[in-house]
Structure formats: C-alpha cells, structure tokens
C-alpha cells in the first residue's frame, strides 16, 4: 500500500482511538503531512527509535510503541519461560506522552505473559540501567528522546547487563517488529493479566542506587570542609534528574542551589528553547541565579538525566558553557588525580572513550599510566568493555565518557549517568575550592600541561523520507578515495570503521582497527589532530567531528577554520 492507502486504513479502522482519529482527520488535504506521517516506518536502530510525537507509522505514538514492544515480547518468548518470568523493567522521563507510552509497553508485555516492572514516577536512564541489573530482568525499556526538542519522544531497549541492547539481539528484535504489519493489532491484556504481570518497581531499588553512588565519592575531606557552604547552581531543566541529583548531593553533604522554576515536570520545557544543557542558553536561568548568589559553576541535566552540561565563570567574569569534551577531561583529570593522591589507582586501571571524543584524553591517561581504550559512538560499547573486564579481570574500569556530555564512573549502570556525573562535578568544585582555586583555573592548567586541544563538531541536517539513506551515502562516498590532505594538513592514517580497516597514508599498509563495525570514516592528521565523519544513529544529521592540536587557543581556532573549509570543499565535491 502507498502512504495514502495506509492513512485511510488507519482512519477507517474501528480500533483507532478517538485522539488519533481527530488528529488524522485534521490532516485531510495536507498531502505533505500525510506523506511524512505514513510514507515511512519509524526506524528501529541500534539505539531504539525516536521521532516526532503524533499518529502515523513514522511517528511516536501508542501504536508504534506497542508494535515495537510486541517485537521485543516475541524475542523474550523465544528465550523461554525463565526470561518471561524475569521480565522487563520500564522507565520514562518528563516528556509529553512518556508515561502513556510506558504504560502501553507494560500492557503489551502483560498480554504476552511477561512480567513488567513499571516505575511509578519519572526515573532517569541510569536508574533504569541500574534497575535492570538490580532486579535481574531480561530487558529494560526507557521512554525518552533525551535532549531533543519537545516535539520528540523515543523508545530505547536495554539488555540484561543494563547496557543498551547488543546489535545482535537488536537485529532479532527488529526482524520481529518488521513482520508486524498490523499496527493497531497489538494484544490487549485482560484485567487478570494486568494484575499478575504489571508490578511496581520496589522502592529498595532507588535506595540501592544511591548507596552505590556514595561509594564513588573521592574527596570526603574537602566536602566536609566546603560542602555545606558551597555556592553551586543546579537545574534539572524540567527533567527526571531533579529528585536523584538533589538526593545524592544531600546524602554526601553538598549544598546546591536549585533553579526552582525548572524543577517542574513541564512537557513543554517552557523556560528553554531546547532542553539540552550543553547549550549556554539552556543554562541561562541557572547562570542568572549564579550571578545573584556569587556562584562560579552552573550545571544541568537533560530530560532523561543521562547528559550533564556545565558552565563556569572565566577570567573575564563571564560564564561560558564548557563542551562535553572539556567536562570530560576535567572529570578524568580529577578522578585520576584523587585516586593517585589516595594511592587507590589500580595498576590495571582503564579509561574508555568514543573515538570521536577529544584526543587530549590520550595524553592525560599516559601521564597517569592508565590504559585508554577507544570504542565506536554509543555508550553500549563502553558497557561492553566493562562486561568483558568483569569476566577476564584484565583491566579495572575507572571512567568512561563521550563528547556528547555523557559520563560514567562506577559499574552500577551501563549507560551515561548524569546523576553520578553531577555528584562528581559538585565534589570537584568542593575539591578545588578547598585547594583555593577554581574549576576554570584547573582547566587552564590542564591545557598548559598537555597542550591546547580544540574540539568541535557540526551537524548537517537532512530532510525528507530519504534523509538517512542520503547521509549514509555521503559517508560511503568518502570511503572510495581516501584523501591525503585537508589543505595544508596531511593525513597520517585513514580508518574505515565499516570494514574495520586502517590505512597508513604514507606506506599504504592496511591493518585492522579491532573495533565493532559502524558506518564512519576517520582521518588521523600528522600532528595528532583528527577529523571524523559519521551519520547520526538517532536523527537525520551528518556529524563531523574535529579535534585540533595547537600551541594555544588562537592558533587552534585559526587551524580549525582552515580545516573546516577543506572538509567542506571535499563534501561539496561529492555533491557536485
């Protein structure tokens, strides 16, 4: 059927709920909207699915959620009765319809005689990841669109280890989902099935989570001396981080002034343009409060509290938003410094970062004698390293991070954890306050010690039903003829992650990268800088990452502009 036929088949189906019927009737005559809503199916990728909230096969609604959950249910059923009894834990954030979608998922599981543990209120990604492990469930479901605009929602699936489901298992689930052509035909549980299979998450799970986090503190002396009087501002940006972040800070004895207006669970995120704390504008109310009380650090979490954004007051007395890379190197430096000072740094300590994350991590880890591992984008790959080391004991996980404001210390969760990152951030402020310095001063000291690195990424938006195909096509074209120079910058090696191949551009020698395959190209430059191009796995954006090494900030900024121009020239040549 074409999209018009699918549209009318939904509209004329007596099973369609009244809200959906009204929305679809309002689309009548709007060819573009009908095509967008029904001209494709919402893609379920390795990170789950994400889309605009609304009715249609290409949007987030109870029918696409129920269909996805039915596919997951069939996968769990194939694992046997024990997997069904272990069940699935479901969490959700503060976005529009998140609670509705969570309940819909629970009911589909119940209709399949699969136990569903459902949180009674919003809980962030890391607490869902922890709950999967604490309850020993077969899987987990998180309803969220992370830091995306308010119009979006999403659906993420977690495996039994608490990490996002493996590509192998996801493939099986997707195959099951794709076989379901009747979107409105998800099984409906009886009242007895609801009572038997839908259970609340025990309150002890939250208590265990907080207990695990308190074990990760690093500066008790500094916190005792400065924590109660600390001038620090936190905003949950209307998200699920409010309760857990303020709870853990209170437990360890750190005072944080909260932006009260942004503690409300507001589905419109009405005080910000986009609920992404990476942007200074999103932290503007926090910055205004910081100016008022004399604080020098502002931090915020996104709706599902897996990302942490930080702004600090600089030497000019103005607040500047730090990038995910800068926060990452600050936390990395702080964690390794404190572990070494306390003689608690394991001999086989390891740090994991995505390969698009700052090149500075290599120098910091080398200085502390810590092994650094690089993995593809996606925190599940960091989770896989943790799982591997728990089995073979070859390394001890110390810290993992991604440039997209995602950080994890501890093995209690297997995804980005902005709650533990918030705790460490606040503790770090205490530590430097106790030392008579600031977080901004420490950042500058890091640059003086290791050299200046400027990290930046840009996104090229694609639109239309073929957006994902088009941007993957650009990356595929870059693999055909690896470039040897970007302007004056020589390429030392070229990596094609889709074929696990690295080419030395001076000798032509080929070798294996030794990394899971993903559609991405990476250019390592002669001076240690790099350029990486990859399609986003969750939205129609082509992402280009730059990490530029230079003597100082001004030289790095000038080099970055030249590098950007050279890369754009290459892309224009592909399009031309």
Longest Cα–Cα distance of the chain, Å, equals 70
What tokens appear for 221 in the block?
């002396």
535 beta partners: 542
Mention every residue, 6+ apart, whose C-beta is less than 8 A from residue 180.
Answer: 67, 70, 71
E strand residue ranges, 451-509: 452-461, 485-486, 489-496, 501-504
Q: Nearest 5°: phi and psi at 457?
A: -140, 145
Mention every residue, 6+ apart, whose C-beta is less than 8 A from residue 479.
Answer: 496, 498, 499, 521
What is the Rg, in whole angstroms, of the alpha carbon atoms belonging to the chain? Answer: 24
Closest CA to 550 of 440, 483, 437, 456: 456
**Catalytic-labelled residue, pool 66, 73, 129, 146:** 146
Q: Let me know if 98 is a catalytic residue.
A: no
Whole-number Å distance between alpha carbons of 383 and 374? 12
Whole-number Å distance between alpha carbons of 271 and 277? 12
DSSP class per residue in 345-406: --TTEEEEEETTS-THHHHHHHHHT-EEEEE-SSHHHHHHHHHHHHHH-S-EEEEEEETTTE
Q: Are 401 and 322 in contact (CB under 8 A)?
A: no
Which of the residues are catalytic? Answer: 146
């Amino acid at each position: 059927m074409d999209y018009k036929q699918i549209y009318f088949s939904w509209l004329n189906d007596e099973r369609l709920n009244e809200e959906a019927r009204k929305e679809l009737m309002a689309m009548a005559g709007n060819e573009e909207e009908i095509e967008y809503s029904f001209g494709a199916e919402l893609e379920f990728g390795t990170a789950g699915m994400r889309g605009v909230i609304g009715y249609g096969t290409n949007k987030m609604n109870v029918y696409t959620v129920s269909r996805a959950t039915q596919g997951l249910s069939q996968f769990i059923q194939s694992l046997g009765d024990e997997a069904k009894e272990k069940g699935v834990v479901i969490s959700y954030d503060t976005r529009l319809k998140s609670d509705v979608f969570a309940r819909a998922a629970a009911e589909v599981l119940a209709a399949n005689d699969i136990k569903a543990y459902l949180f009674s209120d919003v809980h962030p990604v890391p607490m869902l990841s922890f709950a999967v492990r604490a309850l020993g469930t077969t899987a987990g479901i998180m309803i969220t669109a992370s830091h995306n605009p308010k119009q979006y929602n999403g659906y993420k699936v977690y495996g039994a280890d608490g990490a996002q489901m493996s590509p192998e298992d996801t493939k099986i689930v997707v195959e099951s989902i794709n076989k379901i052509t009747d979107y409105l035909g998800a099984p409906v549980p009886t009242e007895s099935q609801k009572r038997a299979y839908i259970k609340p998450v025990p309150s002890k799970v939250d208590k265990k989570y907080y207990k695990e986090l308190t074990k990760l503190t690093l500066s008790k002396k500094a916190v005792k001396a400065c924590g109660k009087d600390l001038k620090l501002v936190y905003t949950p940006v209307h998200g699920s981080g409010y309760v857990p972040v303020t709870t853990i800070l209170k437990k360890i004895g750190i005072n944080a002034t909260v932006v009260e207006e942004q503690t409300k669970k507001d589905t419109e995120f009405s005080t910000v343009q986009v609920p992404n704390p990476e942007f200074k504008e999103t932290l503007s109310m926090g910055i205004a409060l910081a100016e008022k009380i004399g604080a020098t650090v502002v931090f915020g979490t996104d709706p599902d509290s897996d990302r942490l954004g930080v702004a600090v007051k600089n030497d000019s007395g103005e607040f500047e938003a730090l990038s995910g890379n800068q926060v990452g190197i600050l936390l990395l430096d702080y964690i390794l410094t404190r572990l070494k000072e306390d003689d608690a740094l394991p001999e086989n300590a390891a740090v994991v970062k995505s390969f698009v994350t700052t090149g500075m991590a290599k120098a910091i880890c080398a200085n502390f004698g810590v092994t650094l591992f690089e993995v593809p984008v996606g925190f599940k790959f960091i989770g896989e390293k943790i799982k591997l080391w728990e089995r073979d004991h070859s390394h001890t996980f110390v810290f993992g991070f991604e440039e997209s404001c995602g950080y994890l210390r501890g093995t209690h969760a297997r995804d980005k954890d902005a709650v533990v990152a918030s705790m460490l951030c606040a503790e770090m402020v205490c530590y430097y306050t106790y030392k008579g310095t600031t977080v901004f001063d420490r950042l500058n000291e890091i640059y003086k010690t290791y050299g200046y690195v400027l990290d930046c990424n840009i996104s090229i938006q694609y639109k239309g039903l073929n957006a994902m195909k088009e941007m993957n096509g650009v990356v595929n074209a870059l693999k055909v003829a690896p470039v040897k120079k970007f302007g004056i910058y020589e390429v030392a090696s070229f990596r094609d992650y889709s074929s696990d191949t690295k080419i030395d551009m001076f000798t032509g020698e080929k070798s294996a990268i030794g990394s899971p395959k993903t559609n991405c190209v990476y250019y390592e430059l002669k001076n240690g800088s790099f350029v990486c191009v990859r399609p986003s796995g969750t939205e129609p954006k082509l992402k280009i990452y730059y990490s530029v090494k230079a003597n100082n900030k001004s030289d790095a900024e000038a080099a970055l502009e030249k590098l950007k121009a050279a890369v754009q020239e290459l892309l224009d040549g592909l399009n031309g």
